[in-house]
Amino acid sequence: MEHRYEQYGHKRLAVGAGYGTMDFIAQRTTAIILAVYSILFLLAVIFTKIDYDSWTNLFTFTWFGGFPTGKISTTLAFLALAYHAWVGVRDIWMDYATCATLRLSLQVLTVMWLVSSVVYFASVLWSL
């Protein structure tokens, strides 16, 4: 009689975080978003003069009759950065913080820092 959960071999029960495939896809997707945004931003910086008006126009330009393309694309890139950072730092805490209390504390502090960064970012960008 075969046991449902064997502790060895290819049918063993794998326990752990369980975030595998979805986080792999999320990391790659956010990395692509950040790469595309970085290239476009770099091209915009190279081909425009650097003064206050040009700098704010990089973030406030509109398309299709007032659609805030600059703010939305920058917000998307920043949210991708925050999620990318969360997945990476969470995995570091899960791998190297062996004490559950320490790991939970570090994860909570990381979430608080990332959320506060997103709120501050949004308040600055959307006030332009």
Binding residues for heme: 84
* Residue pointed to by tokens 């006030």: 127
Known binding-site residue numbers for a ubiquinone: 96
Q: What's the CA gap between 41 and 58, in Å, rounded?
A: 8
Known binding-site residue numbers: 84, 96
Q: What's the CA gap between 27 and 34, in Å, rounded?
A: 10
Cβ proximity of 87 and 26 under 8 Å: yes
